[in-house]
Amino acid sequence: MTHHDQPTALDRITELLAENGFDGLASAVTVLLNEVMKLERSNALGARPYERSEGRTGYANGFKPRTIHTRIGPLSVEVPQARGIEFYPSTLEKGIRSERALKLAVAEMYVPGVSTRKVAAITEKLCGLEVTSSQVSRAARALDEELEKWRARPIGETPYLILDARDEHVRHGGQVRSCAVLVAIGIDAEGRRSILGVSVSLSEAEAHWRDFLASLQARGLHGVKLVVSDAHAGLKPALAARLTGVPWQRCQFHLVENAMAFVPKPGMRKAVVASIRAVFDAPDRPEAERQLEIAVKKYRASAPKLAEWLEANIPEGLAVFALPPGHRRRLRTINMLERLNKELKRRTRVAGLFPNEASALRLVSAVAMEISEEWETNRKYLTMEPE
């Protein structure tokens, strides 16, 4: 005989949906996730709650609250904990890839020097895995296969393309070299943003950018109406070669920063920033160009190098005026990359010096993949207006 004194998860889900309709969907999904995670813990432990089992591998150890962001909004779930075994629900694996990549980077740095049990024990404790060359290689291959699938996934119509570059240090040929890390973010035709891809290379700047853009196009990138970036070395000629005729918006935030190098006196900086802001905050392009002309005339005598720089560079930050007003503020800078760069800095600071390019690419890819997955489940970044 089956007893129904205690409501099952299915009963609670049914009740929530019956009483609240779609408004109860988030609560219903929360109940479902909690139940699935508990079942996964039971399977990992080899025993259900309070069950005596000879095959038990560990013990339940309560729950830890966590908020996860999904397409239906934030969900406050209870993550099952365990003792005696390593356990984390596969449902919530965000963050796991980047941790594995970071540990592998640290491990790879130590592998060549592992010659004593003492060093091996230290690195095993530090990295959370055994660090023989073969074991590190196997772990790296498994993660690299997963990340390569992500980097090679198809791309569709992408009206807005945001590009950025940063440097990391790698060991190459017995020397420490600066390695370029390229990142591409796309906003698709529905207004959703994602990280389209990353690339790591020691190659000359223009060639690296050109190859990176070609790889995005080979995966289906098309329909680009605007490219937003800072003035990275080699990028302009690469854009001319691969995205011919597509307007380029130079990051307005970095333009203001760059202008400060041409201000002759510290006391002038506040006024110069105000003059540039008047250009960028204009209601339309004709007014922006008028404000630029005023600024150039204003500094022609007192700061001729600044006036010359403004006249040559500020127009590169005005392409955004061709966009719908609702899109301009979010696409006039590359500030959307701040979260990604902050997370990359946090991880690469721990790694310090990468042992090779592959290790740097692994970590950057893992961080980018996790952040992109979060973006893709959040609300739309832009409301795309009809032509």
**Statement: residue 28 has pLDDT above 90:** no
Same domain, 243 and 291: no
Please check the confidence at residue 344 and state whether its pLDDT lies above 70: yes
Do 310 and 376 lie in one domain? The reply is no
In a shared domain, residues 351 and 303: no
CA atoms within 13 A on the CB side of 158: 25
Domain boundary among the residues 71, 92, 113 is at 92
Please report the pLDDT score of residue 70 as a whole number: 63
pLDDT at 265 > cutoff 90: yes
Residue that terminates a domain, selected from 92, 109, 143: 92
366: its two tokens: 């893992």
Same-domain pairing of 224 and 358:
yes
pLDDT-derived band at 352 (thresholds 50, 70, 90) equals low
| Burial 356-372, CB ≥16 within 10 A → b, else e | bbebbbbbbbbbbbbbb
Residue ending a domain, choose from 333, 351, 370: 333
* pLDDT value at 277 more than 90: yes
In the chain, DSSP assigns E strands to 59-70, 73-83, 160-172, 175-187, 193-201, 226-229, 248-250
Residues 298 and 347 in one domain: no
The answer to whether residues 303 and 319 belong to one domain is yes
Q: What is the domain range of residue 268? A: 252-333
For residue 218, is it within any domain? yes
Handedness of CA 369, 374, 379, 382 (dihedral sign): negative
pLDDT for 169 equals 86
Split at pLDDT 50, 70, 90, the class of 108 is: very low
Q: Does residue 1 form part of some domain?
A: no
Residue 245: its pLDDT value, please? 95
- Residue at 4 is within a domain: no
Asked whether residue 245 falls in the same domain as residue 360, the answer is yes
- List, as one string, the DSSP characters of 142-156: HHHHHHHHHHTS---
pLDDT at residue 79, as a whole number: 86
Residues 126 and 16 in one domain: no
B/e letters for 286-303, b = 16+ CB within 10 Å, e = fewer, are eebbebbeebbebbeeeb
Task: Quickly tell me which residue has 């009809």 as its tokens.
Answer: 386
The pLDDT confidence band at residue 342, using thresholds 50, 70 and 90, is confident
Is the domain of 169 the same as that of 202? Answer: yes
CA distance 52 to 46: 10
Same domain, yes or no, for 211 and 305? no
Q: Would you give the end-to-end CA distance of the chain in angstroms?
A: 65
Residue 110's pLDDT band (cuts 50, 70, 90): very low
Residue 114 is predicted with a pLDDT of 35
**Pair of tokens at residue 111:** 């592998």
Please, are residues 383 and 191 in contact by the beta-carbon 8 Å criterion? Answer: yes
- 259 and 291 in a single domain? The answer is yes
Return the H-helix or E-strand segment holding 232.
none
The answer to the question of residue 2 being in a domain is: no
How far apart CA 117 and CA 131 sit, in angstroms, is: 11
The reply to whether 154 and 119 lie within a common domain is: yes
Q: For 199-214, what is the mean pLDDT?
A: 92
